[in-house]
Amino acid sequence: MNGAVGQAPLPFARWLMPMLFFQGYLALTVWMFFYGPWPWSVDHPVQLAIFLGLAQLAMAVGYLFARRRVCEHPLDTLHREKQIGAGIRLLKAAVLVSAVMALPSSLSRTGSALPQVLEGVRNTGIAYNENFERLDSGNAYVVVEYGRMLLSPWLTAVFPLLVLYWTRLRWSWRLAALGVVTFNLSMYLATGTNKGIADMVITLPWLVLLAVFSGLLRIRRAGLKAGLTGLAMLLLFLLFFGAGQLQREGSGGEYGTFFTGETVLQADSDHFISRLLPTEYRVIFEALSRYVVHGYYALSLALGADSPSTLGFGHSMFLARNADALFGTGQFVRDSLPGVLERDYGWGTFLLWHSIYPWLASDVGFAGTFLVIGALSYLLGLAWGRAIVSCSAPWTVMLYLMLVLFYYVPANNQIFQSGETFFAFFLLLWMIARQRGPRRGRSDRRPDSSPALIRP
C-alpha cells in the first residue's frame, strides 16, 4: 500500500449527522417542556422559547464553521496509520492506569473495595440514598478523586478508544478493556446512579458509527444496526432509571409530584401519552419527562434574575466550590445564577437541573452564552470530523466528551461539573495542540512524528 495515498474527502452528510441529531433532540426536549405532562408555570414563555431557539441557531452556526477546518489538511495513509498506532498505545496505557485505580475508585465511590452490584440492582433507590448520605458526611477516600483528576484523560479514554480500535486489538487487550469498562459500570450500578450507564448508552451508537465511517469497522447497514442497538440499550436503561426514581427519597416519582422549592407540581395523568401507557410505564414516562426538561424551568427563572459575574468560576460546580475554598468565600457558588435561584426561589443549586445556559451565563451573561455554546458546537463538529478522518485518539476522546455535553444541555454544564472531566477536557486540548499533522500540499513526503502521547 502506498503511504502517499490520501483519504477520500469526508462526505458532508456524514459530517453533519451529529448536529442534525442534536437539533432534533433538543427541539424534542423543548416541546416536552411546553407540551409534556408537567404544568410548568412560566411567566414569560415566549421569551424562553426565543432564547432556546437562538441557542440552537448558535449551535448550528458554530458547527458549520468547523467544516473548513475538517477538510483543511487531508491525511495520507501513512500518517493515519501512525495516528492509529499512537492511539492503540494510549488505549493500552489507559487500561493499565484504570486497572490500578479500580479498587481505590470503588472505595471512594461506593464505600467498598468491590462494588455491591446485586444490592444496587435490587434496591436501586436505597443504594443511591445511602451512598449520597455517605458522601455528604465526608468521603474518607477523597484523595482518590484528586488522583483521578490528574489521570483523567486515560480514565476517560478506555471506552471510546475500545470501540474505535476494536478490530485492531488482540483479544487479550479487548478483554482487559472490557473488564475495565464493566468494573466502572458496576460502581454506578452498586450506587443506583444513572450517569455512567446513561453516558455509555447515549454515546455507543455514535462511537460505532465513527469506527464504521473511519473504515476500521465493517458492518452492513451500520446506521440501522447502531440505531437499533442504541434503542435496545435505551429501553433497558429506562427500566433501571424508572426503578431508581420510584425508590429515591423525595423523588415523588410514584405519585407524579415534584417540589420546585415554592410549590408542588402534579403530573397530568390524562396527558395523551400517559393515557396510552400502563401504570408502571406511565410512571417512567412522567419521571423521565420531568428529569430531562425541568432545567428549562430554572432557565426561565434565571432569565429574569440579576447576579454579578462570577469571573470564570461560576460555570462549573467544581470550579465554584474550589474557588470558594481557596479564597475563603462563598461568593462563587452564592453569586452564580444557580446559587441566586436557590436563594430567591428555593431551586436547589446541586440537587436540581438548570440546563447548561444559567451556568454559562453566570460568567458571560446570556448574550455571551450564545458565543460559548457556538464555540462548543464548533468543537463538536471539529472532533467528529477529525476523529473520522484521522482516527486520532485525543480527538476521539474529545468527541466522546462533546457528545456527553450536548446530550446534557437540558440538564447542566455536564463535563465541567466534575473535576475529572474538567481536567480531561483541558488536558485533551493540550494533547491535541501538541499533535502534528502533514503539511498542506506535501502528502508525498513522510509525515511528521506521531502525536506526543504518553506511551506505556
pLDDT attached to residue 4: 44
Bridge partners (DSSP) of residue 265 are 258
The dihedral of CA 298, 303, 305, 310: what is its sign? positive
Type of residue found at 159: F
pLDDT in tens, the chain (456 residues): 344 445 567 889 999 999 999 999 999 999 999 999 999 989 999 999 999 999 999 999 999 999 988 876 666 788 889 999 999 999 999 999 999 999 999 999 999 999 988 888 777 778 888 888 888 778 888 899 999 999 999 999 999 999 999 999 999 999 999 999 999 999 998 988 878 888 988 899 899 999 999 999 887 765 555 666 666 666 666 665 555 555 554 454 555 788 887 788 889 888 999 888 887 778 888 888 898 899 999 999 999 998 888 999 999 999 999 999 999 888 999 999 999 999 999 999 988 999 999 999 999 999 999 999 999 999 999 999 999 999 999 999 999 999 999 999 999 999 999 999 999 999 999 999 987 655 444 443 434 333 333 222
Q: How far apart are CA 40 and CA 357, in angstroms?
A: 18
Compute the distance between CA of residue 243 and CA of residue 247 in angstroms, rounded to an integer.
6
Q: Which residue has the cell 489521570?
A: 151
DSSP code per residue over 264-276: EEE--TTSTTGGG
Distance, C-alpha 234 to centroid of its chain: 15
Dist. CA 170–CA 117, nearest whole Å: 29
